[in-house]
Amino acid sequence: MTRLADPPATMTTKAASKGKQKKVKKDVESMKLTDFYHVRRSARKTGKEIEAEVRLDLRRKIETCENETDLIIEDFEAKGRGIRAGKKFEKGDFVCEYKGEIIKFVKAREREANYSKDPKVGSYMYYFQHNNAKWCVDATEESRFKGRLINHSFYSPNLKTKVVDFGDNCFYLCLFALRDIEEGEELLVSALLQGSTVAMKTATMVVIGISRDEFSKSELSKLYRKLARQFHPDRIRDKEKLAEAEEKFRLVTTAYETLKDDETRGYYDYYLDHPEERYYNYYQYYRMRAAPKVDVRLVIFVTVMVISIVQYVSAKQKFSEAVSYAATQVKFRNVAMDVARERNLLEFDEKGKPKKKQKNGADVEKVIQSIIEENINVSGGYKRASLLDTFAVQIIIFPKTLTEFLIQRGSLAYRQLMNKDLTHDDKLFLIKKNMGLSAAQFGALDEGEVEDFLAMELWKKDLCEEYKKKKEVEEKEKLMNSGRYKQYKRYMKRNAGNTISFLED
């Protein structure tokens, strides 16, 4: 190694004047770790490299169709041909390609229309969207590729579809394991992800002999009863065939429930005619399956009853609060005491006060409140609860209420137009309207106050406006003379100029 040179002991004039020694850079030869240890390149792969290898392996499997040997064709009694797994597939594994001719949507609809003319020709059309375009895989023609034979299941699919795009306008429609699939298990994909005629094929195989053009509910019911007797689990004695019978019975029941109802059959027909609208059909399927089928009239009835019960309970609570408040007032308590003494409901001592312990065990406060509740007249929002004020009863008597309202308003308009004398009810209605009071507010007014309004003829709009202005002036004068307002004015005068402001000067 190179020997390090001794650092010079010279000092600059500026550094010497300050009494500090200047730092001098050392000329040192740098050494690398690799000069002492041999370092190998890491064999670890990056995430992008692993992803590229996975995509390359997937493309190889798709193009070589090597998984076709792991698919076993089998004839099922109710569904026809289907596919069983020849090996175990783990969740997310590539199973096979739905192989066929990839064509544009318009051309696919033309082909499907031609296929539908011949009942002997099956149609295996799978519609999908990719790169903002509508496509279809036409796997109708018989071939050695087995993906076209996979059946569908509403309740227990174990496959899902996915478009795999390798670029350069090269994409494939593939089936992947939706969950772990055991060897020998039938491969199933959801009918909502299948093409229209695949679903139609299954429906017509379950409900044998019924086509869209020759559909009748009587024939549907007859065939359903026949198939239900054949595949009902209670009729199957062989335990080995029980699971298969349950699946067949579910398919029969699903087809029957779908086709017997006009609404669901309409959505199903729309699904057959518009398979490209996958998400709309998906929504309609789960809406019909999950949404509770409840009569709208029952929902309305229950809603009205709940609102009415809440109204009645709330009114009783408010009236109870009003009675409790009145029981704390001296004048109401004294009147209640007199009534209790007359009826011998309570025992009193020599001073005229009720005894704390009554011989009959009566609660003094409850007796007083019951007497007040019996005799008090509360109006407005705290009036006594009544069933007539509930929403349900108001709906029932609405025709009568509307008729009375129209008659009253019509007669009032007629008397005003003909300059005839107004009735007492007309005057009260106009006073309430001119004063801007609600029915509850007007009902809470004292009888003497209402009589004063009638004496001042406040049903006349000009007199009412004059009265309101006069009351406004009186309220202002009352406010000016109140101690609280004077205290507020003194406070504002004393703190003038000391208010906080966020505005710039």
pLDDT at residue 290, as a whole number: 65
In terms of pLDDT, which residue wins out, 46 or 274?
46
pLDDT value of position 392: 92
276 against 372, higher pLDDT: 372
Pair 386, 380: CB distance under 8 Å? no
**Is the alpha carbon torsion for 382, 385, 391, 396 positive or negative?**
negative
Provide DSSP, 419-450: TPPPPHHHHHHHHHHHHT--HHHHHTS-HHHH
Domains of the chain: 59-206 (2.170.270.10), 298-391 (no CATH), 399-490 (no CATH)
Handedness of CA 476, 481, 484, 489 (dihedral sign): positive
Q: State the pLDDT confidence band at 93, using cuts at 50, 70 and 90.
A: very high
Contact yes or no for 91/124 (Cβ under 8 A): no
d(CA 484, CA 200): 84
- Which tokens in the block code for residue 415? 């008397």
Q: Which residues contact 278 (CB under 8 A, 6 or more apart)?
A: 127, 128, 129, 192, 193
Q: Are 150 and 83 a contacting pair, CB within 8 Å?
A: yes
Q: Where are the beta strands (DSSP E) in 112-191?
A: 125-130, 133-138, 151-152, 159-165, 171-177, 188-189
Alpha carbon of 150 to those of 73, 242, 309: distances in Å?
Answer: 9, 22, 56
CB-based burial label for 426 (10 Å; 0-12, 13-18, 19+): middle
The residue ranges of DSSP E strands in 178-247, in sequence order, are 188-189
Please determine, for residue 267, whether its predicted confidence score (pLDDT) is greater than 50.
yes
Confirm whether pTM is higher than 0.75. no
Once rounded to an integer, what is the mean pLDDT over residues 450-459? 85
Q: Which residues contact 445 (CB under 8 A, 6 or more apart)?
A: none
Per the prediction, the chain carries an average pLDDT of 78
Strongest mean pLDDT among 96-100, 250-254, 293-297, 356-360: 96-100
Q: What is the pLDDT of residue 123?
A: 66
- Within 10 angstroms of residue 420's Cβ, the number of other Cβ atoms is 10
Q: Is the pLDDT of residue 432 over 80?
A: yes
- β partners of residue 355: none
E-strand ranges in 278-347 read none
- Sequence-distant (6+) residues with CB within 8 A of 408 are 425, 426, 429
The pLDDT tens digits of the residues spanning 97-152 come to: 999 999 988 888 888 888 877 777 766 888 888 888 888 888 888 888 988 888 87
What pLDDT, on a 0 to 100 scale, did the predictor assign at position 94?
A: 94
Name the more confident of 18 and 58: 58
pLDDT digits (tens, 9 = 90+) for 174-188: 999 989 999 999 998
- Helix, strand, coil proportions of the chain in percent (round to 5)? 55, 10, 35
pLDDT over 50 at 3, yes or no: no
Please give the Cα distance from 219 to 236 (Å, whole number): 25
Q: Is the pLDDT of residue 85 over 80?
A: yes
Please report the pLDDT score of residue 11 as a whole number: 44
Q: 206 — phi, psi (to 5°)?
A: -75, -50
pLDDT of 329 above 80: yes
Residues 6+ apart with CB under 8 A from 188: 150, 151, 152, 153, 156, 157, 158, 159
Q: CA-based diameter of the chain, in Å?
A: 129
Structure confidence at residue 20 as a pLDDT band (50, 70, 90): very low
C-beta atoms surrounding 493 within 10 Å: 8
